């Protein structure tokens, strides 16, 4: 069943959006990925990934208030949809199936 089409980086972004419980916007998602995901991410990569996720229906957006600190630029908040949630769960279940089937491997050194 190829219901969900979610790339590796997209999965991380989606997870970060989920973790932030609807409070996530560009910068906070970026920081979440950088701290929890232990990888750096450029604004461009993040934004294009968010746009793609929104197009696929995994996340929805809400326009936030205008604040002083951003020179009056509004924030865009992202929230994970139920469909997005199911995509994450599907991904996880696929992995779990593989892990359960994995024999105990002993790494032999030489």
Partner 1 sequence: MRTQGPPKYLLRFFKWFCKPEIHSFIEGDLLELYEEREQNFGRKKAVRLFALDVLKLFRLSIIRPVRISNNRNYLAMLRYNMLISLRNFKKDRTTFLINVIGLSTGLACAFLIFMWVQDELRMDRFHEHDDRLYQVMQTLDLTEGVRVVDWTPSLLAKTLKEDLPEISHSVATKAGQNRYDGILRYEDQYVKATPQYAGQEYFQIFSFPLLYGDEREVLKDKYATIISEKLALKLFSSSENAIGKTIEWNNKKGVDYGGVFTITGVFKDLPPNTSEHFDLIFPYDFFFSTQSNIGDWNNDPMATYVLVEEGVDINSLNDKITNVVASKRDYTNGFFLKKYSSKYLYANYDYAEGNSSGGRIIYVRLFSIIALMILLIACFNFMNLSTARSSTRMKEIGVKKTMGATRKNLILQFVSESLLISFIALLFAILWLTVFLPKFNQITGKELQFSLHLNLILSFLAIALITGLLSSSYPAIYLSAFKPVSVLKDKIKSSHGELWLRRGLVVFQFTTSIVLIISVIVIYQQMNYIQSKNLGFDRDNIMLLKNDGNLPEHLETFLSEAKQLPGVLYTSNSNTQLIGNENWTSGISWDGKPEDQDFVVNVITTKYDFIETFGIQLKSGRSFSRDFGTENQKLIINEAAATGMGINDPVGKIINFWGQDVEIIGLMENFQYQSLYNPVDPMVIRLFDGEINSGDCIWIKIQSGQEREAIEHIAGLYDKINPGFPFEYSFVDESFQSLYESEQRVAVLSRYFAVLAILISCLGLFGLALFLVEKRAKEISVRKVLGAKAIQIVGLLSRSYAKTIFISFSIALPISLWLASNWLGSFEYSIKLKWWYFGAALLTVVLLTWMSVGWQTLRAALADPIEDLRDE
| Contacts with 78 (C-beta within 8 Å, 6 or more apart), sequence order | 17, 20, 22, 24, 25, 29, 50, 54, 59, 60, 61
- Give residues in contact with partner 1 (CB under 8 A): 25-27, 30, 42-45, 47-48, 51-52, 69-71, 73-76
Least distance (Å) from partner 1 to the CB of residue 71?
Answer: 5
Nearer to partner 1, 76 or 90 (CB): 76
Nearer to partner 1, 69 or 100 (CB): 69
The tokens 């509004």 sit on which residue?
Answer: 74
Least distance (Å) from partner 1 to the CB of residue 58?
Answer: 15
**Distance (Å, whole) CA 30 – CA 103:** 36
Least distance (Å) from partner 1 to the CB of residue 86?
Answer: 24
């Amino acid at each position: 069943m190829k219901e969900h089409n979610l790339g590796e980086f997209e999965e991380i972004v989606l997870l970060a959006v989920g973790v932030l419980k609807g409070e996530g916007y560009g910068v906070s998602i970026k920081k979440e990925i950088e701290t929890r995901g232990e990888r750096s991410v450029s604004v461009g990569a993040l934004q294009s990934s968010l746009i793609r996720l929104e197009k696929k229906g995994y996340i929805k957006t809400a326009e936030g208030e205008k604040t002083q600190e951003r020179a009056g630029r509004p924030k865009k908040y992202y929230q994970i949809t139920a469909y997005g949630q199911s995509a994450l769960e599907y991904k996880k279940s696929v992995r779990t199936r593989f892990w359960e089937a994995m024999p105990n491997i002993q790494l032999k050194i030489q």
